């Protein structure tokens, strides 16, 4: 290979010359995929210099090489292995003064003061980077057109949004980088490209791992792919877009479960809704970074004390005013950045068909008072928000949560006295209010994405993310 690379410029220029090695004719012209010569201009100590770099890409010769030549193309020295692992090529630097610097290229990186050869090598690196970036763009266009012609490209029709354009651009970058590992058969090519698309959409960071395992990338190819993924924010944008789209799909799915007459008859509080919201706690607020599900009040106290960094070995049971031990459906806890106070949220869920009455209102108030009146919370300086979440409530509850001097929705509260160690508020919220608040947090992204989930999208999301806790009837087509 080295003989062929060294002689390539002369043999290509003078095709009448024949060179044989071990009885085999060396004919580099038969292996050329692309051949281009570029001007090199650089300055050293204020003096301008000119040279050329000839880049020959090979169709069936593997590897990369940089050869330092005189202006006639006669090799003088080998340069360091150049970048661009996704290409097989040889780069020939053609400079009339190169013979004067024979054997010095390995010393360039040790120079305290850059020499003219060191400045030339920097110019070569820059020129090669520009060249291969342009060639990658050209190759992407060629490959995409080929895949479209073969009907193996995993996207159909033109991109309709900016996000789709970003996703396709990222796909093209990755697919181009590993094109030599994509099977040539039409069926296998379609399958491989489809798998790559799906992985890129759902787990951009997993693309390199997938390709390492599937294609067996060389070290150089692995490094090049890593460089490509790190250089562009496109995959991160795709992940963020997918994340927001999933949230929008979930909000639509939650509306479907709690409002649709057929769906809410299938959804059970403990078996379904409760388990789903354990995984989707963001719907109540991004700040809830900890959750304990279906816990007794005593365990709620233990968690509270752990967050405060206090000893919890001597905790005694916490009971409701009637002496029984209550249970909290969901508990989210956070140390809020509010001066020296901590903040907790307790969510009491009810099944979609439940219309809250005095019974449910009394239950949530009992929970709240059991905690704030317990002597073990003395000195903890905590604000508690208790929230009863229902589809609807009766007129009695409606009047209770619309009292003069209170924020709308508050059922009960203690004075927010700065000298009081514990204070609380008890809220009653309709699902529509919770969903509207969550929707507003995503409104900017929703408008930008122009995403309006269909019933099919809703079923797909629920099946993919919560199929293990929902009845099969939820996914049945109409």
Domains held by the chain: number: 3
Which pLDDT score is estimated for 468? 82
The last residue of one of the domains, among 113, 136, 159, is 136
Q: Are residues 430 and 349 in the same domain?
A: yes
Q: Are residues 293 and 406 in the same domain?
A: yes
The Cα 86–Cα 67 span in angstroms is: 19
Which pLDDT score is estimated for 454? 76
The Cα 302–Cα 183 span in angstroms is: 57
SS3 assignment for the chain:
CHHHHHHHHHHHHCCCCCEEECCEEECHHHHEEEEEEEEEEEEECCEEEEEEEEEEEECCCCCEEEEEECCCCCEEEECCCCCCCCCCEEEEEECCCHHHHCCCHHHHHHCCCCCHHHHHHHHHHHHHHHHHHHHHHHHHHHHHHHHHHHCCCCCCCCCCCHHHHHHHHHHHHHHHHCHHHCCCCHHHHHHHHHHHHHHHHHCCCHHHHHHHHHHCCCHHHHHHHHHHHHHCCHHHHHHHHHHHHHHHHHHHHHHHHHHCHHHHHHCCHHHHHHHHHHHCHHHHCCCCCEEEEEEEHHHHHHHHHHHHCCCCCCCCCCCCCCCCCCEEEEEEEEEEEECCEEEEEEEEECCCCCEECHHHHHHHHHHHHHHHCCHHHCCCCEEEEEEEEECEECHHHHHHCCCCCCCCCEEEECCCCCCCCEEEEEEEEEHHHHHHHHHHHCHHHHHHHCCCCCHHHHHHHHHHHHCCCCCHHHHCCC
Q: Are residues 130 and 161 in the same domain?
A: no
Which pLDDT score is estimated for 39? 95
Q: Are residues 278 and 348 in the same domain?
A: yes
The last residue of one of the domains, among 93, 112, 136, is 136
**Domain with 369 in it:** 267-441
Which pLDDT score is estimated for 341? 63
Taking each helix axis from N to C terminus, what angle separates 162-177 and 219-231, rounded to the nearest 10 degrees?
A: 160
The Cα 107–Cα 104 span in angstroms is: 5
Q: Are residues 126 and 162 in the same domain?
A: no
The Cα 381–Cα 240 span in angstroms is: 37
Answer yes or no: is 160 within a domain: yes
Answer yes or no: is 35 within a domain: yes
The predicted-structure confidence for 181-211, as pLDDT tens digits, reads as follows 777 788 888 888 887 887 777 766 666 666 6
CATH number at residue 417: 3.40.1350.10
Tokens for 312?
């919890």
Residue bearing the bigger pLDDT, 153 or 345? 153
Q: Are residues 195 and 302 in the same domain?
A: no
Q: Are residues 179 and 312 in the same domain?
A: no
What value does the mean pLDDT take over residues 323-332? 70
The predicted-structure confidence for 429-458, as pLDDT tens digits, reads as follows 998 888 888 888 777 566 655 667 777 777
Answer yes or no: is 243 within a domain: no
Which pLDDT score is estimated for 15? 56
Which residue, among 224, 235, 226, has the nearest Cα to 200 in the 3D structure? Answer: 235
Q: Is the dihedral of CA 345, 350, 356, 362 positive or negative?
A: negative
Answer yes or no: is 418 within a domain: yes
What value does the mean pLDDT take over residues 121-129? 92
The Cα 67–Cα 74 span in angstroms is: 9
The predicted-structure confidence for 26-44, as pLDDT tens digits, reads as follows 566 677 788 899 999 999 9
The predicted-structure confidence for 283-298, as pLDDT tens digits, reads as follows 887 766 565 665 666 7
Answer yes or no: is 254 within a domain: no
Q: Are residues 226 and 116 in the same domain?
A: no
The predicted-structure confidence for 222-267, as pLDDT tens digits, reads as follows 666 666 665 554 455 555 667 777 888 888 888 888 887 777 677 7
Highest averaged pLDDT of the listed ranges 46-50, 233-237, 278-282, 382-386: 46-50
Tokens for 372?
């704030």
Task: Say how many CA atoms lie within 13 Å of 231 toward its Cβ.
Answer: 10
Which pLDDT score is estimated for 181? 72
Query: Strands across the sheet with 327-338, in order?
Result: 290-296, 327-338, 341-349, 382-390, 422-430, 410-413
Confidence of residue 410 (pLDDT cuts 50, 70, 90): very high
Which pLDDT score is estimated for 276? 83
The Cα 16–Cα 403 span in angstroms is: 101
Q: Are residues 277 and 400 in the same domain?
A: yes
Which pLDDT score is estimated for 338? 52
Task: Say how many CA atoms lie within 13 Å of 227 toward its Cβ.
Answer: 13
Tokens for 250?
């979930």
Which pLDDT score is estimated for 395? 94
Q: Are residues 100 and 163 in the same domain?
A: no
Buried/exposed code over 334-369 (b: 16+ C-beta within 10 A; e: otherwise): beeeeeebbbbbbbbbbbbeeebeeebbebbbbbbb
Lowest mean pLDDT segment, chosen from 132-136, 282-286, 299-303, 454-458: 299-303
Residue bearing the bigger pLDDT, 49 or 319? 49
What percent of the chain shows pLDDT beyond 90? 14
The Cα 244–Cα 142 span in angstroms is: 33
Q: Are residues 205 and 274 in the same domain?
A: no
Which pLDDT score is estimated for 378? 60
Answer yes or no: is 94 within a domain: yes
Q: Are residues 294 and 389 in the same domain?
A: yes
Which residue, among 124, 80, 82, 81, has the nearest Cα to 104 in the 3D structure? Answer: 80
The Cα 31–Cα 20 span in angstroms is: 16
Answer yes or no: is 251 within a domain: no
Lowest mean pLDDT segment, chosen from 83-92, 115-124, 397-406: 83-92
The predicted-structure confidence for 68-103, as pLDDT tens digits, reads as follows 989 888 888 888 888 777 788 888 999 999 999 998
Which pLDDT score is estimated for 230? 59
Highest averaged pLDDT of the listed ranges 131-135, 413-417, 420-424: 131-135
Which pLDDT score is estimated for 81? 80
**Phi/psi at 49 (nearest 5 deg)?**
-135, 155
Q: What angle do CA 39, 102, 91 make, to 5 degrees?
A: 35
Tokens for 238?
């795709």
Which pLDDT score is estimated for 122? 92
Work out the mean pLDDT of the chain and round it to a whole number.
77
Answer yes or no: is 455 within a domain: no
Confidence of residue 394 (pLDDT cuts 50, 70, 90): very high
pTM of the model: 0.48
């Amino acid at each position: 290979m080295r003989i062929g690379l060294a002689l390539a410029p002369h043999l290509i220029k003078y095709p009448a010359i024949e060179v044989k090695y071990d009885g085999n004719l060396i004919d580099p012209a038969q292996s050329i995929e692309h051949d281009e010569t570029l001007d090199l201009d650089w300055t050293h100590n204020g003096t301008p210099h000119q040279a050329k770099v000839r880049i020959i890409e090979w169709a069936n010769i593997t590897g990369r090489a940089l050869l330092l030549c005189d202006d006639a193309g006669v090799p003088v020295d080998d340069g360091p292995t150049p970048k661009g692992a996704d290409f097989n090529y040889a780069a020939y630097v053609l400079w009339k003064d190169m013979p004067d610097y024979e054997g010095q290229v390995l010393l360039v990186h040790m120079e305290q003061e850059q020499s003219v050869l060191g400045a030339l090598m920097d110019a070569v690196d820059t020129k090669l980077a520009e060249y291969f970036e342009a060639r990658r763009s050209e190759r992407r266009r060629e490959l995409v057109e080929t895949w479209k012609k073969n009907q193996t490209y995993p996207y159909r029709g033109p991109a309709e949004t900016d996000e789709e354009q970003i996703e396709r651009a990222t796909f093209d970058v990755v697919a181009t980088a590993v094109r030599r590992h994509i099977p040539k058969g039409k069926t296998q090519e379609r399958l491989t490209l489809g798998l790559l698309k799906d992985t890129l959409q759902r787990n951009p960071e997993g693309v390199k791992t997938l390709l390492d395992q599937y294609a067996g990338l060389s070290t150089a190819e692995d490094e090049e792919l890593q460089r490509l993924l790190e250089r562009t924010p496109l995959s991160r944008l795709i992940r963020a877009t997918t994340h927001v789209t999933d949230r929008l799909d979930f909000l639509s799915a939650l509306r479907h479960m709690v409002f649709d007459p057929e769906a809410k008859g299938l959804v059970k509080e403990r078996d379904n809704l409760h388990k789903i919201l354990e995984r989707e706690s963001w719907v109540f607020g991004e700040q809830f970074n900890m959750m304990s599900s279906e816990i007794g009040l005593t365990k709620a106290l233990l968690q509270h004390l752990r967050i405060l960094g206090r000893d919890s070995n001597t905790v005694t049971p916490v009971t409701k005013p009637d002496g029984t031990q209550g249970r909290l459906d969901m508990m989210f806890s956070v140390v809020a950045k509010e001066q020296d106070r901590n903040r907790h949220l307790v969510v009491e869920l009810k099944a979609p068909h439940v219309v809250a009455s005095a019974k449910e209102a009394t239950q949530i108030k009992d929970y709240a008072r059991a905690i704030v009146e317990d002597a073990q919370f003395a000195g903890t300086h905590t604000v508690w928000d208790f929230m009863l979440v229902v589809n609807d409530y009766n007129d009695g509850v409606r009047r209770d949560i619309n009292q003069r001097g209170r924020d709308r929705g508050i059922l009960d509260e203690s004075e927010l006295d700065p000298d009081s160690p514990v204070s609380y508020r008890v809220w009653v919220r309709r699902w529509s209010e919770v969903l509207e608040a969550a929707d507003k947090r995503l409104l900017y992204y929703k408008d930008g994405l122009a995403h309006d989930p269909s019933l099919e999208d809703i079923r797909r999301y629920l099946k993919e993310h919560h199929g293990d806790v929902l009845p099969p009837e939820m996914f049945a087509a109409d």
